[in-house]
Amino acid sequence: MNELFALDFDGVICNSADETAVSAWRAASQLWPELAQAGSDAPDEIVEQFRAVRPYLETGFQAIVMIRMLLHQAPLSAFRDELHTHVEQALHDLNKSKDELIALFGAVRDEWLRKDLPSWLDRHSFYPGVITALRCALQQQKRLYILTTKQERFVAALFASQHLPFPADLIWGLDRKVKKEVLLQELLKEKDARVHFVEDRLDTLIRVHANPTLQAVKLYFAPWGYATRAECTQAEKHPDIHCFSLEHFTSWLKE
């Protein structure tokens, strides 16, 4: 049996909420100059507020709209229940496409990396023990893949900062413009493959579970990421989703 490990990145391996908030603020201030004075950066209170709504972010570019919603004092329910509506309305009002906002978000990050890589890295933190576990797994030649909605070059830069030799061609991210379900289907095509998928978004796991072509995928929920308490409770009750602790996850990768 070929054991393949498909790991989400943000919320499983890395906590990037603060960096996402700052990058989104910088992008939002370009789209809506009235939000901030030129050259100003995300206030600490906005970054803190963003941490509370981060569980409802699906793809990075949406954070740009979320920053504007925070400044307009949108209630938590708006992020939980109406985020797609707010994003679509913003795209309409700006006369821009989703791809244009993705490009802007990436460009803002690229500029930050180019001008001040240390401060960009400092806005991230890796969950305790995860880098060591990944290093052990790679040394054991375990088959690891990263499945993420982050652009691949940023994942590669973060791994490089930890001197982790993760193969770039096994980081499958936003650049591919393919849903995780499709990527999992690709992994299942390998002969005798058994795929283990670790994710902190319960909605994603439930969507995979409901896909008849992905019944062979083993599903694991990561509650240490951006999950809400309600999602943790729901995941614990699901008969086909395994709930990890962070300690269990790191031990599992190393064993």
Per-residue pLDDT of 112-134, as tens digits, reads 999 999 999 999 999 999 999 99
What is the pLDDT confidence band of residue 207, given thresholds at 50, 70 and 90? very high
Q: Which of 67, 93, 122 is the last residue of a domain?
A: 122
| 240 and 139 belong to one structural domain | yes
Q: How far apart are CA 145 and CA 102, in angstroms?
A: 23
Q: Which of 103, 122, 141 is the last residue of a domain?
A: 122
| 118 and 220 belong to one structural domain | no
| 96 and 55 belong to one structural domain | yes
Q: How far apart are CA 72 and CA 28, in angstroms?
A: 13
Q: Which domain holds residue 77?
A: 17-122
pLDDT tens-place string over residues 17-35: 999 999 999 999 999 988 8
pLDDT value at position 38? 60
CATH number of the domain that residue 215 is part of: 3.40.50.1000
| 201 and 144 belong to one structural domain | yes
Question: Whose CA is closest to 130, among 43, 5, 39?
Answer: 5
| 138 and 70 belong to one structural domain | no
What is the pLDDT confidence band of residue 191, given thresholds at 50, 70 and 90? confident
pLDDT value at position 53? 97
Decide if 242 contacts 222 (C-beta within 8 A). Answer: no
Task: Calculate the average pLDDT of the chain.
Answer: 95
| 114 and 203 belong to one structural domain | no
Q: Residue 157 to residues 127, 164, 199, 201, 222: CA-CA distances in angstroms?
A: 17, 10, 21, 23, 23
For tokens 């803190």, the residue is 48
Residue type, 149: T
Q: How far apart are CA 68 and CA 88, in angstroms?
A: 14
Helix 246-254 vs helix 130-139: angle between axes, to the nearest 10 degrees?
20
Instruction: Please give the tally of structural domains in the chain.
Output: 2
What is the pLDDT confidence band of residue 39, given thresholds at 50, 70 and 90? low
| 167 and 248 belong to one structural domain | yes
Q: Which of 100, 122, 144 is the last residue of a domain?
A: 122
| 99 and 135 belong to one structural domain | no
| 134 and 110 belong to one structural domain | no
Question: What average pLDDT does this structure show over 150-178?
Answer: 94
| 193 and 206 belong to one structural domain | yes
Query: For strand 218-221 and strand 241-243, is the pairing parallel, antiparallel, or unpaired?
Result: parallel
| 186 and 66 belong to one structural domain | no
